[in-house]
Amino acid sequence: MFYIQYSAYLLLLLFIFYALLLTCILYLLSYSLILRSEDNEKVSPYECGFDPFEDTRNTFDVRFYLVAILFIIFDLEIAFLFPWSVALYHLNLFGYFIMVLFLVVLTIGFFFEYSEGALDWK
């Protein structure tokens, strides 16, 4: 009786066990096989321009956060455009103009941010 009721859960637990076992094996293999050599390329500043080994309590420029938030906003715009473009054939005129209104509002917001200097990197 126990086997009949919980056989699906037993397979799920077996799958989770194998996944965790494989994860641990791969992690330990990658940790034991890495080369631990430091050269000038590894310790040099990357794209952000900050040294990789500084004091962690230094102030961080707010413009990085602002650019990240703006990227998320306009990335969400694209996420809304994909389903709309797929369903455009089945939508009526109301659905089309609602999306045009959405794009107009986002365009106005983009021009407002540009005029306020939010995208200027001084």
DSSP state, 56?
Answer: T
What distance in Å separates the CA atoms of residue 9 and residue 31, rounded to the nearest whole number? 33
Task: Compute CA distances 97 → 73, 93, 100, 108, whole Å.
Answer: 21, 6, 5, 16
Quick one: pLDDT at residue 113?
Answer: 81
Residue 1 has pLDDT above 60, yes or no: no
Could you tell me how many helices (H) and strands (E) the chain has, helices first? 3, 0
pLDDT digits (tens, 9 = 90+) for 2-26: 566 777 788 889 999 999 999 999 9
What distance in Å separates the CA atoms of residue 3 and residue 23, rounded to the nearest whole number? 28
Query: Among 13-17, 56-60, 97-101, 103-107, where is mean pLDDT lowest?
Result: 56-60
Contact 106, 79 (CB under 8 A): no
Query: Whole-structure pTM over 0.75, yes or no?
Result: no
